[in-house]
Structure 1
C-alpha cells in the first residue's frame, strides 16, 4: 500500500471534536475525541473510537456509561485542555466545572450540548476500541443559530497543521 496516499486519503475524513467523559469508582476521566458518528436512529446509537491504553477507556469499561460533550466553534481551548490527562474533583475536571448526568458521567457546564450513553457493544481492534453507545439522555444548553453541524468545533478549526488520523 502507498502509505502517503493512505495517510492523505484518511485525513480527508472530516471530524468534529468532543470531550468524552465518564466516571466510575476509580473517579472521573475525560479526553478529547474526534472519531465519532451517529449510527442509528432507533434506538439512537453513537459510535466513538477510544485508545485502548487510555484512562478514559478503562473507566468506560468499568462503569458501562459515558457522555459526549459537544464543543462549540469558539471552544478550541477546551479541546486542547483534554488532549492530555487531566485532574478532577467533585466539581471540576481539567479545570472546567461539571454537573453529574443521569449516567454518572461529568457534563461540562460550558458546552452547547451533550448526549449520555449506555455502552451497547465494544469492538477491540488495532490500537482503538470502537464503542457503540445507546443515547439515553441528551441536552442542549445553547441553541445553534442556523445548521446545528455548523455550530460545533471541527478538527480543521484548530488550524492547518492539526491532524489526527491517517
Structure 2
C-alpha cells in the first residue's frame, strides 16, 4: 500500500501565517519523560499528542528533527506522556526550556519500567517506543501504551500562544 501522496504544488501562505493558523487550534499540554541508561531523567513539553488506535492502544506525538533530545527519545525503549492539569503551567514552561535538571524540585513517582510520572497530572500513558517516522521537519513517535492512569480534573490548554484551562465542571 502506497501511503505517500503527490506533493502539494502551490502554497498560498508563508511559514509565519501557517504557524499563526495552527495556533488557533486549542491543544492539551503534555510533558514527555524518560529515563536514560545512566539513571538520569529527561523530559520535554509537547502539545502534539493524539490517539491513534484503541486496539492495539497507540498514541502519537512529534518532535523537531533538529531537537537535541531526539537521540534520547529515539533510542529509549519507553517513555511516559504526562497530560498536564490546570495549574501546571510552570511545569510546561520548565520542561520547554533547556536546563541541566528540569526535574529538580519536581514531584514524581516511577512507573514499573522506571520512567518518571509527574505528580498531579490529569492522565499519564507509559509507552513502549514502537515506531518513529520522519516527516517534514519533525519525527512522529508512535507509542504502544502499556499502562495508563486517569485523575480527572481541569486540563491545561494552549491556544493562540497562551495557556488556558477547560471550563469548571
Structure 1 and Structure 2 fold alike (TM over 0.5): yes
Residue 45 of structure 2, aligned match among 32, 41, 59: 32
Contact 1:30-1:86 at 8 Å conserved across structures: no
Deviations 1:101-158 (A, max 9, x none): 1232211123232110001110012332100001100123x333xxxxxx211112xx
Q: Distance in 1 between matches of 2:45 and 2:35?
A: 15
Q: Using a 3 Å threshold, how does the CA distance of structure 1 residues 64 and 112 change in structure 2: closer, same or farther?
A: same
Could you list the runs of 5+ residues in structure 2 that have no partner in the other structure?
1-10, 164-169
SS at match of 2:28: coil
Q: Does 1:22 align with 2:22?
A: no
TM-score (structure 1 length as normaliser) = 0.79
Q: Distance in 1 between matches of 2:20 and 2:118?
A: 33
Q: Using a 3 Å threshold, how does the CA distance of structure 1 residues 41 and 63 change in structure 2: closer, same or farther?
A: same
Higher-Rg member (1/2): 2
Aligned residues: 150
- 2:54 maps to what in 1? 41
Could you list the runs of 5+ residues in structure 1 that have no partner in the other structure?
145-150
TM-score (structure 2 length as normaliser) = 0.78
Deviations 1:49-90 (A, max 9, x none): 0123334332222222110111111211111111112344xx
